[in-house]
Amino acid sequence: MKKIRVFKGREVTVHPFVPRSFTQNEEFLSSIRQLEVLRSKNSKQMIRKMAEQNGLAYGEEHIRFAKKILHIIVNEISNEQ
């Protein structure tokens, strides 16, 4: 048998309903997902593949530079959160 506890009015605190509190969590989670996608595309192989798909000329030095820049961007975004 379950026990039932009865609360008095002064024992209960009431906070106003804030709809944004629900969407803030969703915004935070979606930004984390975006960071994960950026991190997954931060490999040399993926950068090379994206360059080929878009008809861009690239060399090993270009790929290293793009990888470093993407890494810096991802770190700055994750530090802001």
Q: Inform me whether the pLDDT recorded for 61 exceeds 90.
A: yes
- Does 40 or 67 have the greater pLDDT score? 67
Q: Please answer whether residues 43 and 74 qualify as being in contact, where contact means their C-beta atoms are separated by less than 8 angstroms.
A: no
Tell if the pTM clears 0.75, that is, is over it. no
pLDDT of residue 29: 67
- Pick the closest to residue 47 from 27, 64, 33 (CA basis): 64
Would you say 61 and 44 are in contact if contact means Cβ atoms under 8 Å apart? no
Do 38 and 73 contact (CB within 8 A), yes or no?
A: yes
Distance CA 38, CA 48 (A): 15
> DSSP strand E in the chain: where?
none
Q: Where are the domains of the chain?
A: 43-81
